[in-house]
Amino acid sequence: MRHDPNCSSRGVDVALLVHESVDRAFALLQHALPDVTLHDWRDFVREQHAATGDRPAHRGILVARDRRGVILGLAIFQHLRDLRHHQVLQVDLCVVLDLLHRQNVAERLIAELEARAEHLACQAVHFALPRGLSGGNSEWMASLLTDRGHIVESRVFCKRIDPAGRT
């Protein structure tokens, strides 16, 4: 995989989440998605790592850190086959929590995701920007993606299913 040399040179390093940092990453995730519990997060990360197996480039969680190792952003991604675009890198969540340098952190994460997509011979990168994220991540992230050449191609609808209501 091609590594973006600017990730480190601007004081932000982007790499896959390692086991030792799972709980630290949760603090950032909880700010964006307060209804996710630490237990849910740990289970999700464990499933991500188990599903990755010998193909770590195909799915994972990227974290952006500053020079001191503080996690400033994270992105959850997976390589999928799409009917329209064939091979795609689907970014299910991209969250940045750095008030002073959030654009730089987001640009580093996006650049790394785009580099991964290129490495995997993807024809597109799909970003899901959940509504209602704390800190207004969706609005400014959408603007940044548009500035980088991404376009709005679809909308995703969600209907929550109550497992207790099933017969």
pTM of the model: 0.83
Q: Which CATH code for domain 6-165?
A: 3.40.630.30
DSSP designation for 58? S
Residue ranges of alpha helices (H) inside the chain are 6-9, 22-32, 38-52, 102-119, 137-147
Residues in Cβ contact with 140 at an 8 Å cutoff, skipping those fewer than 6 apart: 102, 103
pLDDT value of position 24: 94
Give average pLDDT by consecutive 10-residue segment, the chain, 167 residues.
Answer: 44 91 93 90 88 69 93 93 91 84 90 94 90 65 88 82 72
